[in-house]
Structure 1
């Protein structure tokens, strides 16, 4: 934001400088050329009057000296032609003396008593020159014509120096404005940066550095005060919610255990016809106990401040597969492990075990006998050295699968598929997602090839910064 404010400020100042300096430079160049032309025309007219007087008195021999003296004084080339356009003297080329120039436009115009002023390129110098051709006298017959030619190099140099001075002044103004604008932009965006830090802290669960409410523009001060009040209230609400879930779960464990014992004590005294009802009541009680355990686990994850650690993914997968192999054999379901080895990922301590246990439990509930559950580890490289590499754990079953809507809702707490015939609590997949996100990863449900469901857990590779920089340097 600081950069954008500074760029917008500089762009506006640059437009103002261009609007001021460019017209001034153009006007200065034109006015200098006009002033120079006017002075040259006045001098040429004065010289023409003197030449006219010399010609009328029969003193044409004085014209070369007069022209040379004028040329030295003004730095110009002087040419004087008679009443028929024949060159009488030329300070630059004696070869032109006696040559008829009456056909040249400026000489012809002057012979008709019309002065001519303009610029043209000079083949001898290769530059641009200013010429002034004026008649010596007036009337039907013009006694003589005077042409003075000035090189425009010094004038162009002066104009260029002025443009350079304007450019230096403009750069100096831009530099000063940059410093002032940067200071102003920093002062304006400082409250915004404080709000950004506070928002990031709030996303992590607790604000340790609240934004100051006494700095910056009034609007930002009011915004910071409103944000602080909202964040404080939100933290209290979240803490109360987490404390409530944790306290209720803990308080429910004891009465549930006592209730189970009392129901089991009824079993010897019940009639055989009531045995089925007792078994169903015990089953529902078991489901309620698992739900309480799930709520406790979710509350621990949400309240946990432990950071991820490097974990050997394939070792954990192999260990959990070995433990669940007996349960899979009871249901006549195969359990296959495949994929990459020696893959280390970032995860919370114990999170991978809970993730795999929940995914395998769900997969076994929906897998028909004679099918196979596959646990596959896939290592994927990041795009370039800036994107971290990830590892994917695929838990694929051959059950009935889910529709796209069901896959999106499966991570909602207590949600169960409409046609579910098992005693799940609806907390397994929400716990998987919470543990995965707390470990810095993501989990998705995708349709498996040939039917069934593919639960994909993506976690970041546990690669040290030094090792990653070495790999990037080699690539």
Structure 2
């Protein structure tokens, strides 16, 4: 932003300088040439009058000395011709005395009492010249003709020097304007940069460097003050929400445990017809306990910061598949782990185990006997410069699957499918998403080929850690939260 403001400022200054200096330089060059031409014409006319007077008194022999004296004084070359156009003297020695010049246009015009002023170019080494030809006397009694020729190189040097002075002045003004513009741009953009840093800090959860409200333009000061108030209010609301979830989860654990014990103590004293109601109440109590544990885990995820570390995904997949095989055998469901090799991935400690546990628990609940659940690890190449290579964990079941709308809502807290017939809490997939994002990854639900659901967990490679942003999201997971909440 500073660069853009400075460029716009300098562009305006440069436009003003060009609009002022270029016309001035052109006007100066033209006025200097016009002034020089008038001076040369007046000098030639004065010389022509003197030559006419000399010729009227028969002093033609004085003309060469008179021409040479004028040439030394003005720096011009002088040629004098009589009334027939015969050359009488030439200080440049280009024309022989006695040569007829009446055929030359300027001499012919002067013999008819017309003055001629014009420029012409000589060979490249000689440059450009100004020629002035005037009559001595008046028509029809033109006594003589005088031609003076001036080199324009000194005039052009003077004009060129003026252009250089104008350019130097313009550059000086431009440099001064650059310093002023840079200072102004910095004064404007510094509060904006402070706001940008504060916004990034707010996105990470806490503002450690609030924007100053006493620097910069009034509009930005008011914006900084408004942002600070909004961020403070938002942080307070977030902290209140997180504290509420954490406190409620902690406070509910003890009464829920006591309530379960009391219900179990009723069992010997209940009639057989009430046993079903007791079992239902115990089941709902168990679901409520898992929900509280899930809320507690999510609260810890949101309140704790920890750095992601390299983890061996293949080893974790093999370990969890072996543990869950006993549960799967009870439901006559196979767990298939295709052979594969993946590079170490980034994950917070203990996250991969919980991610796989939750996804396997969900898959088992919807898997019919005789079906299979596949745990596949696949490495994907980079897709352009913005998408680095990733490792994908696919948990594929052969259940009824989900519609696109259901897959989109499945990560909402407490959401459950309308046709769900299990006692899930609706916190399993939100916990999976938090754990995955804590390591810089992402999780999605996709339709599996042939039916069922494909839960895809994308994780970053640990080798690229030095190229990634430092992670501020992570988890401190209690072992008690390794339950099996449903989606």
Q: What's the TM-score, normalizing by structure 2? A: 0.86
316-325 or 458-467: bigger deviation: 458-467
1:152 correspondence with 2:170: no
CA distance in 1, matches of 2:69, 2:347: 98
Instruction: Return closer, same or farther for 1:89/1:420 CA change in 2, 3 Å cut-off.
Output: farther
Q: Following TM superposition, by how much is the alpha carbon of 1:122 offset from its aligned partner in structure 2, in angstroms? A: 1.6
Q: Following TM superposition, by how much is the alpha carbon of 1:47 offset from its aligned partner in structure 2, in angstroms? A: 1.8
Aligned to 2:27: 27
Aligned to 1:232: 232
CA distance in 2, matches of 1:467, 1:199: 22
1:78 correspondence with 2:78: yes
CA distance in 1, matches of 2:401, 2:61: 119
Q: Following TM superposition, by how much is the alpha carbon of 1:353 offset from its aligned partner in structure 2, in angstroms? A: 1.8
Q: Following TM superposition, by how much is the alpha carbon of 1:102 offset from its aligned partner in structure 2, in angstroms? A: 4.0
CA distance in 1, matches of 2:314, 2:175: 59
SS at match of 1:143: strand
Instruction: Return closer, same or farther for 1:95/1:42 CA change in 2, 3 Å cut-off.
Output: closer
CA distance in 2, matches of 1:83, 1:120: 25
Aligned to 1:446: 446
CA distance in 2, matches of 1:403, 1:422: 18
Instruction: Return closer, same or farther for 1:370/1:37 CA change in 2, 3 Å cut-off.
Output: same
Aligned to 1:422: 422
How well do the aligned residues superpose, as a CA RMSD in angstroms? 2.8
Aligned to 1:471: none
CA distance in 2, matches of 1:290, 1:283: 11
SS at match of 1:419: coil
CA distance in 2, matches of 1:124, 1:294: 94
CA distance in 1, matches of 2:433, 2:242: 17
Aligned to 2:296: 296
Instruction: Return closer, same or farther for 1:421/1:91 CA change in 2, 3 Å cut-off.
Output: farther
Instruction: Return closer, same or farther for 1:49/1:340 CA change in 2, 3 Å cut-off.
Output: farther
Cα pair 2:77 2:92 within 8 Å, conserved: yes
Cα pair 1:339 1:377 within 8 Å, conserved: no
Aligned to 1:109: 109
Aligned to 2:185: 185
CA distance in 2, matches of 1:294, 1:466: 33
Instruction: Return closer, same or farther for 1:72/1:202 CA change in 2, 3 Å cut-off.
Output: same
CA distance in 2, matches of 1:123, 1:99: 23
Aligned to 2:364: 364
Cα pair 1:338 1:377 within 8 Å, conserved: no
Cα pair 2:342 2:377 within 8 Å, conserved: no
Instruction: Return closer, same or farther for 1:78/1:259 CA change in 2, 3 Å cut-off.
Output: same
Q: Following TM superposition, by how much is the alpha carbon of 1:241 offset from its aligned partner in structure 2, in angstroms? A: 0.7
Alignment of 1:209-248 (within 5 A): 209-248=209-248
Cα pair 2:377 2:391 within 8 Å, conserved: no
Q: Deviations over 1:414-434 (max 9, x none)?
A: 122233333322212211222
CA distance in 2, matches of 1:98, 1:395: 115
CA distance in 2, matches of 1:96, 1:394: 107
Instruction: Return closer, same or farther for 1:124/1:303 CA change in 2, 3 Å cut-off.
Output: closer
Unaligned runs of 5+ in 1: 469-475
Cα pair 2:48 2:136 within 8 Å, conserved: yes
Aligned to 2:313: 313
Q: Following TM superposition, by how much is the alpha carbon of 1:340 offset from its aligned partner in structure 2, in angstroms? A: 5.4
CA distance in 2, matches of 1:251, 1:467: 43
SS at match of 1:50: helix
Cα pair 1:374 1:397 within 8 Å, conserved: no
Cα pair 1:333 1:367 within 8 Å, conserved: yes
68-77 or 80-89: bigger deviation: 80-89
Aligned to 1:408: 408
Q: Following TM superposition, by how much is the alpha carbon of 1:96 offset from its aligned partner in structure 2, in angstroms? A: 5.6
Cα pair 2:375 2:393 within 8 Å, conserved: no
SS at match of 2:337: strand
CA distance in 2, matches of 1:88, 1:451: 117
Q: What's the TM-score, normalizing by structure 1? A: 0.88
Aligned to 1:133: 133
Q: Following TM superposition, by how much is the alpha carbon of 1:252 offset from its aligned partner in structure 2, in angstroms? A: 1.7
CA distance in 2, matches of 1:62, 1:443: 111
Of structures 1 and 2, the one scoring higher in RCO (CA 8 A, sep 6+) is 2
Alignment of 1:275-286 (within 5 A): 275-286=275-286
441-450 or 267-276: bigger deviation: 267-276
SS at match of 1:377: strand
1:161 correspondence with 2:161: yes
Q: Following TM superposition, by how much is the alpha carbon of 1:379 offset from its aligned partner in structure 2, in angstroms? A: 4.5
Aligned to 1:472: none
Aligned to 1:391: 391
CA distance in 1, matches of 2:362, 2:302: 22
